[in-house]
């Protein structure tokens, strides 16, 4: 069971907007299957989108490299998720990228309280140390859905040394009250998780639907 505490989570901002940005299919992908070449081709098109409408180009490059490294384990390739923790938590910074259609959906996501001790809204550091309550960087594989203390959630498997403790730390995708729009409106930032990718209840349903088992989720900072 996941153990993401909410005792000091500050809250979200204005309305939790879902931004969908269609890109040129030709610029993104020439076929239905996603691969590292597709992510590479998407770079220029994504870079042309407005600030916070797409992940930073450096993160896109790292996600492409991660896809190539772990391609044998990535069994579902219609969507790739990238969490750009360079951005403040008030901004949509979790990107669902569909290479075949060229669509990018951006959502707000929390970071761990251990990554932002002063609760500035900015992630200051990553850690995979058990008990750190911090977010971890690197490539994850999405796992099975389950019902836990935060309702419907999804397990994550860390694929790299910097997030290899994800399962032991119960780092998952889940919904949380401290990511709801009224919290953001009151405080100008999201609350902090124990290291999980936490969303508003509306947004987590979308993420769980679009990001089923076997997808790549890449977390980092430009």
What would the pLDDT profile of 18-45 be if each residue is shown by its tens digit? 344 444 332 332 233 345 555 555 544 4
pLDDT score at 118? 97
- Pick left, alpha or beta for residue 214 (phi over 0 → left; psi -120 to 50 → alpha; otherwise beta): left
Please check the confidence at residue 190 and state whether its pLDDT lies above 60. Answer: yes
pTM of the predicted model as reported, rounded to 2 decimal places: 0.80
What CATH number has the domain bearing residue 39? 2.40.440.10
C-alpha 47: how far from chain center = 18
Does 104 fall in a domain?
Answer: yes
Nearest partner of 204 among 185, 182, 177, 186, judged by Cα: 177
What pairing do the DSSP bridges indicate for beta strands 94-98 and 103-107?
antiparallel
Q: Residue 1 pLDDT > 90, yes or no?
A: no
Beta-carbon contacts of residue 173 (< 8 Å; ≥ 6 apart): 142, 153, 154, 156, 196, 197, 198, 199, 204, 207, 208, 211
* Number of domains making up the chain: 1
Domain that holds residue 215: 19-220
Which pLDDT score is estimated for 42?
52
The answer as to whether 5 is a domain residue is: no
Kindly state whether residue 3 falls inside one of the protein's structural domains: no
């Amino acid at each position: 069971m996941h153990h993401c505490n909410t005792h000091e989570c500050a809250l979200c901002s204005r309305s939790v907007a879902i931004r969908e940005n269609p890109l040129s299919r030709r610029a993104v992908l020439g076929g239905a299957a996603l691969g590292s070449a597709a992510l590479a081709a998407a770079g220029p098109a994504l870079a042309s989108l407005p600030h916070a409408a797409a992940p930073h180009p450096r993160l896109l490059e790292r996600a492409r490299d991660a896809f190539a490294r772990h391609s044998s384990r990535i069994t579902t390739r219609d969507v790739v998720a990238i969490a750009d923790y360079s951005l403040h938590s008030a901004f949509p910074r979790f990107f669902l990228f569909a290479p075949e259609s060229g669509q990018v959906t951006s959502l707000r996501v929390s970071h761990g309280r251990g990554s932002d001790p002063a609760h500035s809204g900015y992630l200051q550091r990553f850690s995979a140390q058990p008990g750190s309550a911090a977010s971890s960087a690197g490539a994850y594989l999405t796992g099975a859905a389950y019902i836990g203390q935060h309702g419907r959630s999804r397990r994550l498997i860390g694929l790299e040394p910097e997030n290899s403790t994800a399962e032991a730390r119960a780092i998952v995708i889940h919904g949380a009250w401290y990511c709801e729009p009224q919290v953001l409106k009151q405080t100008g930032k999201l609350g902090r998780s124990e290291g999980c990718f936490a969303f508003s209840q509306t947004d987590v349903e979308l993420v769980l639907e679009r990001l089923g088992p076997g997808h790549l989720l890449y977390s980092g900072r430009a």
